[in-house]
């Protein structure tokens, strides 16, 4: 049985688990105020598409893909200069390097094989990023923001537009050494801007790996940039911060690997939830897409869902040729199959 294909943004709305509301996201993150638990917004909260901007070695992406597993349909990684460790994890990123390190890649370890993994080898504000990713198509975006106020402001505005209503925008390195406490005296404060988490001492694991003992560097520039942008939104947003109070035991009890969660410092993250406005008529699917979605949901309910491979082409309304999936059990690699979602590159 064949079902018409749909854009990735529509596929991500397949109700195999409804998305959490803003109040549910905040309730969960209040109970689990640590960066490793962002992956549970996919695994338990119904998110399906996400992006990391500034991937570095790929540790956060690996953690999220490992923990959320098949719940991630698409994961974008914006990184102009991939490191050797990132290439080891994601070999296709070697297109920007002359040599691919030898090591256990994500495919070799079965990580992210269910998802469409897209490396965008561009600067964070390169126009090509925004040509490849549609507005309001992402559930989650995570930043490693620069230490530049103006650039950070521009990035937040640009990537906010890629986030669907109800999605989460978040970033690393949200702490200072008390500078904001003095700066905000007598000034307008955005909701949630105060207090700012204090930068802690370097984690034991980081010291053992060569980090100099002592307090972590203040990230006051990033704090000011994020708070400035939130304030510019006119009081519509509430800024939230994690506390990174996890332990090896607490993570283990929730099935999260400590080694992938810990970094050289326990630096908090910030996050914002984009308001999910009730009027969503501008996002209403076409009749053809709605019919295709209804048929797909029926197949899922019947237990005949086979979504890992794209198997053929079907003509939709207005003569548009689109790839579709063979959702029967017979769906196999032998049928001119390509990776699920590759048609939407």
Task: Tell me the residue range of the domain where 158 lies.
Answer: 22-273
Question: What is the pTM assigned to this prediction?
Answer: 0.72
DSSP SS3 for 2: strand
* pLDDT given for residue 108 in this prediction: 87
Whether pLDDT at 211 is above 70: no
What mean pLDDT is predicted for residues 225-233?
92
Of 245, 273, 301, which residue constitutes the final position of a domain? 273
Give the Å distances, CA to CA, from 4 to 114, 115, 205, 314, 344: 20, 20, 50, 7, 14
pLDDT at 309: 30
Identify the domain boundary among 246, 273, 300: 273
Name the domain count of the chain: 2
List the CATH number of the domain containing 93.
Answer: 3.40.50.150
Pairing assessment for the beta strands 116-120 and 74-78 based on DSSP bridges: parallel
Q: Could you give the count of Cα atoms lying within 13 Å of 74 in the half-sphere of its Cβ? A: 25
Residue 87 has pLDDT above 80, yes or no: yes
Check whether the bond before 195 is cis (ω within 30° of 0).
yes
Top pLDDT among 66 and 11 is at 66
Any domain includes 322: yes
| Percent of residues, the chain, with pLDDT higher than 70 | 66
Q: Which two tokens stand for residue 142?
A: 């995570």
The alpha carbon of 181 is separated from its chain's Cα centroid by a whole number of angstroms, namely 31
CA 276 from centroid of its chain's CA atoms:
18
The answer to whether position 96 is within a domain reads: yes
Q: Check residue 213 and give its pLDDT.
A: 52
> pLDDT band at 187, cuts 50/70/90?
low
Does residue 11 lie in a domain region?
Answer: no
CA distances from 330 to 2, 6, 54, 182, 336 (A): 11, 21, 40, 65, 13
Q: What is the DSSP string of 137-182?
A: -EEEEEE---S-HHHHHHHHHHHHTTEEEEEEEEES---BSSHHHH
* Phi-psi sector, 94: left (phi>0), alpha (psi -120 to 50), beta: alpha
Higher pLDDT, 54 or 9: 54
Query: Which CA distances in Å does 45 have to 212, 238, 338?
Result: 38, 20, 28
Q: How many CA atoms lie within 13 A of 113 on its CB side?
A: 9
Quick check: helix, strand or coil at residue 206? helix
- Biggest alpha carbon distance in the chain? 68
Whether the pLDDT of residue 195 is over 50: the answer is yes
The verdict on 182 and 313 lying in the same domain is no
Q: Are residues 191 and 312 in the same domain?
A: no
Residue 3 maps to a domain: no
Indicate if 152 and 291 belong to the same structural domain: no
DSSP state of 201: B
Which residue did the predictor score with more confidence, 180 or 85? 85
Does residue 74 have a pLDDT over 70?
A: yes
Average pLDDT over residues 260-274: 88
Average pLDDT, the chain: 75
Question: Per-residue pLDDT averaged across 302-326, rounded?
Answer: 36
CA distance 314 to 182: 62
Whether 292 and 4 have beta carbons less than 8 Å apart is answered as: yes
Residue 12 lies in a domain: no
Q: How big is the CA angle at 75 (ends 69 and 77), to the nearest 5 degrees? A: 130
**Residue 202: strand, helix, or coil:** strand
**CA–CA–CA angle 42, 108, 251 (5° rounding):** 40
List, edge to edge, every strand of the sheet that includes 2-3. Answer: 2-3, 321-326, 309-315, 338-339
Q: Which range (1-5, 152-156, 247-251, 314-318) has the least confidence?
A: 1-5
How much is the average pLDDT of 121-134? 96
User: In this predicted structure, which of 69-73, 285-289, 336-340 has the lowest mean pLDDT?
Assistant: 336-340
pLDDT tens-digit series, residues 20-52: 999 999 999 999 999 999 999 999 999 999 999
Taking a C-beta distance cutoff of 8 angstroms, is the pair 76, 118 a contact?
A: yes
Token pair listed for 174: 């949200």
The model's confidence at residue 266, banded by pLDDT at 50, 70 and 90, is confident
- Which letter does DSSP use for residue 210 in this model? T
175: tokens are 């702490």
Residue 10 belongs to a domain: no
The residues pairing with 51 across neighbouring beta strands, listed in sequence order, are 76, 141
What's the pLDDT at 128? 97
Half-sphere exposure of 110 (CA within 13 A, CB side): 3
Same domain, 222 and 318: no
Q: What is the mean pLDDT of residues 180-193?
A: 73
């Amino acid at each position: 049985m064949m079902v018409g294909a749909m854009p990735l943004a529509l596929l991500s709305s397949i109700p195999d688990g409804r998305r959490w509301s803003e109040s549910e996201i905040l309730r969960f993150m209040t109970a689990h105020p640590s960066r490793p638990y962002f992956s549970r917004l996919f695994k338990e909260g119904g998110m399906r598409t996400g992006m990391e901007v500034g991937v570095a070695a790929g540790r956060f992406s690996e953690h999220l893909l490992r923990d959320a597993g098949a719940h991630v349909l698409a994961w974008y990684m914006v990184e102009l200069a991939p490191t050797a460790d990132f290439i080891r994890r994601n070999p296709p990123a070697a297109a920007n390097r002359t040599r691919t390190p030898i090591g256990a890649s994500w495919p070799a370890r079965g990580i992210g094989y269910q998802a469409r993994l897209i490396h965008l080898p561009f600067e964070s504000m390169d126009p090509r990023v925004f040509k490849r990713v549609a507005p309001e198509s992402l559930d989650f975006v995570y930043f490693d923001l620069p230490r530049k106020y103006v650039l950070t402001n521009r990035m937040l505005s640009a990537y906010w537009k890629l986030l669907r209503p109800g999605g989460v925008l978040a970033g690393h390195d949200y702490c200072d050494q008390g500078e904001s406490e003095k700066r905000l005296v007598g000034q307008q404060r955005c909701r949630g801007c105060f207090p700012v988490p204090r930068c802690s001492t370097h984690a034991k694991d980081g010291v053992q790996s060569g980090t100099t003992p002592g307090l972590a560097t203040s990230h006051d520039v990033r704090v000011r940039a994020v708070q400035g942008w939130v304030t510019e939104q006119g009081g519509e947003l509430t800024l939230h911060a994690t506390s990174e109070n996890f332990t090896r035991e607490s993570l283990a009890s929730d099935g999260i690997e400590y080694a992938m969660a810990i970094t050289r410092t326990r630096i908090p993250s910030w996050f914002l939830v984009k308001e999910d406005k009730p009027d969503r008529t501008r996002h209403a699917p076409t009749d053809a897409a709605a019919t295709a979605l209804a048929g797909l949901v029926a197949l899922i309910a019947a237990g005949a869902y086979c979504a890992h491979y794209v198997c053929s082409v079907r003509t939709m309304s207005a003569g548009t040729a689109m790839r579709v999936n063979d959702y029967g059990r017979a769906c196999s690699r032998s049928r001119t199959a390509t990776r699920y979602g590759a048609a939407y590159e």
